[in-house]
Amino acid sequence: MASTSRLACAPRPAPASSSPSPSAATAAALLASASALPARRFLQLHAHLLRTGLLARSPSAAAFPAFLSLAAASLPSSRALAVLDHHLASPSSLPSTFQCNSILRALSDTPGALRFLRRMRALDRRGNAFTLAILLGPRCALPHARQLHANAVAEGHLRDALLATSLMRCYANGGDGDAARRLFDEMPERDTVAWNVLITCYMKNRRTKDALKVFEEMTGREGEAEPDDVTCILLLQACTSLGALDFGEQVWAYAEERGYGGELKVRNSLIVMYSRCGCVEKAYQVFCETPQKSVVSWSAMISGLAANGFGNDAISAFEDMIRSGVPPDEQTFTGVLSACSHSGLVDEGFRFFDMMRCEYRLKPNVRHYGCIVDLMGRAGLLDEAYELVTKEMRVAPDATIWRTLLGACRIHGHVDLGECVISHLIELKAQQAGDYVLLLNTYAAVGDWVKVAEVRKLMQEKGIQTTPGCTTVEHDGEVHEFIADDDAHPRKVEIYKKLDEINKHLRIAGYVPNVSSELHDLDSEGKESALTYHSEKLAIAFALLVTPQHRPIRLAKNLRVCVDCHNFTKMFSGIYNRLVIVRDRTRFHHFEGGRCSCNDYW
């Protein structure tokens, strides 16, 4: 018993402590909290850790690489690099490749990223393919991309798909689509992501027709990557840009066949494609058959109705959206305000503008103000629109706002205000060739040929080149392009013969060219001759040759339709009993039976 008692009363040895010393625990806690600190407090923490020596103690040393990553993420680039340079004095203190990549990711959008990469390599950390891919972000300049491409080749990393596709994106962002395509062709294995990046490259470089050809390449190669839902969305966007309805329907058929037809993003893209190809009925059918409509679905439908001139229908759709319980966003209001603008619904436009601000507490952006300025300008309220832009807007007017007002000056022949608007564009250093063309139109509308000549001389002195008018028409999956007086088309002889025939029939029916659309100081005969072979008219002649009588003629124009071509197409639709749908830079015109859906208000 005694021995038992002694054993019971004997002091027990203290268990080995597995917890860190107070100072080490403090360092670990401080490092763990660093991610939530603003830059100033982070620097204070760094100074404290240096002064107390806590950074060198275990277990905080294990968290040190993470601390460096936080420094790169939390501090301005110059301060972050100073912290990194202070600690990375030798190869032994350099974090692992994985940890270096974390630091690079934090620095990726700053000039310090390349500097840190050079420091890594000076300390014999070569990195891997992911290291280079991190640096190939959206802000990577083209010269840097080429330098990193050379590094990837030298180090044998180009087999990595992520790195190769990141390089392709950089070349596309830098405007070098050919380099992106060469890199794609050199890839040993191309997955669907790589094909999708190639399509994106073409679209960013305005090579939309080449983007469509990628679909044919993908579906024509057995055993390789197949298009997925992202591919379908990208291709539908390309078809939207070109107005390539037939091709878009091929993509949609493929999406339905492969089970992507139920994807909401695919359906939303299809609604936009149909709307932007002038097929409002088909867009509405897809919209109605979409079970779970998002705010994007509603906005796409409202914007589509607005662009096609169905302003009252767009307003009805907006009201249905409110009743369905889906709250509108900024894009929705852009669509409904645009509907009011294109249809001359001034009171309704101001009502929705007030609703956006007061009821839904949405702050109007430049696009919303642009719709209101356009609404007022088209309605002839030019002075009031100018007052809104200069005194009442809550955001600074950009070049688009001023161009919208300049376009209204052209419509209404308001020369003095047009000159004032041009001065604002010059002040913003944002004037473009199209702005001077609008001013030319304004002077020409009032017959001030002296001013027209002065503006032309100024454009020559500044080296300003105008964008030629271009009209496209799709036939059998191929997009045909026309410019004024075009002689490049292989069927040019037939096209010009058909156009002369059309002109003859229209003149018999009473068509008279509107010579005010010609901006050169020519006599009446010279102006009529210059107007005869505009790109829209050539495209219509070609479409008449190749399109069956029962099918609508669909055209896409890169500029605003001129008054003469508008009158020509109205007359053509009645004489030839054809539906002609023209998409210009801002809206659609549905010509049928000698009338246009815009009611001559565009």
pLDDT for res 208:
85
Quick one: pLDDT band at residue 20, thresholds 50, 70, 90? very low
Q: What is the mean pLDDT of residues 255-261?
A: 92
Q: What is the mean pLDDT of residues 241-257?
A: 90
133-155 in b/e form (b: 16+ CB < 10 A) is bbbbeeebeeebbbebbebbeee
pLDDT at 15 over 50: no
pLDDT for res 159:
81
Separation of alpha carbons 454 and 432, rounded Å: 16
Provide the total of helices (H) and of strands (E) in the chain, helices listed first. Answer: 31, 6
N-terminal to C-terminal alpha carbon distance within the chain:
110
Q: Which of 214-223, 357-366, 390-399, 495-504 has the lowest mean pLDDT?
A: 214-223
pLDDT for res 340:
92
Q: What is the mean pLDDT of residues 334-349?
A: 91
pLDDT for res 515:
64
pLDDT for res 23:
53
pLDDT for res 207:
86
Q: What is the largest CA-CA distance in the chain?
A: 134
Quick one: pLDDT band at residue 10, thresholds 50, 70, 90? very low
pLDDT for res 68:
58
Separation of alpha carbons 462 and 469, rounded Å: 21
Q: What is the mean pLDDT of residues 459-485?
A: 82
| pLDDT, tens digit, 9 for 90 and up, residues 137-165 | 777 778 888 888 887 888 888 788 888 88
> What angle separates helix 177-186 from helix 192-204, to the nearest 10 degrees?
170
Please tell me what DSSP assigns to residue 224. S
pLDDT at 399 over 90: no
Query: Which tokens hold the place of 493?
Result: 């002889």
- Percent of the chain at pLDDT > 90 equals 33
| pLDDT, tens digit, 9 for 90 and up, residues 63-97 | 555 555 556 555 565 566 666 666 665 455 566 77
Contact 123, 90 (CB under 8 A): yes
Q: What is the mean pLDDT of residues 294-316?
A: 93
pLDDT for res 539:
95
Separation of alpha carbons 194 and 140, rounded Å: 19
Between 500 and 430, name the one with better pLDDT: 500
Sheet strands side by side (includes 595-596): 478-483, 470-475, 553-557, 580-583, 588-592, 595-596
- The CA angle 191-192-193, to the nearest 5 degrees, is 90
Q: Is the pTM of this model over 0.85?
A: no
Q: What is the mean pLDDT of residues 43-67?
A: 59
How would DSSP label each residue in 539-563? HHHHHHHHS-TTSPEEEEESSPPPH
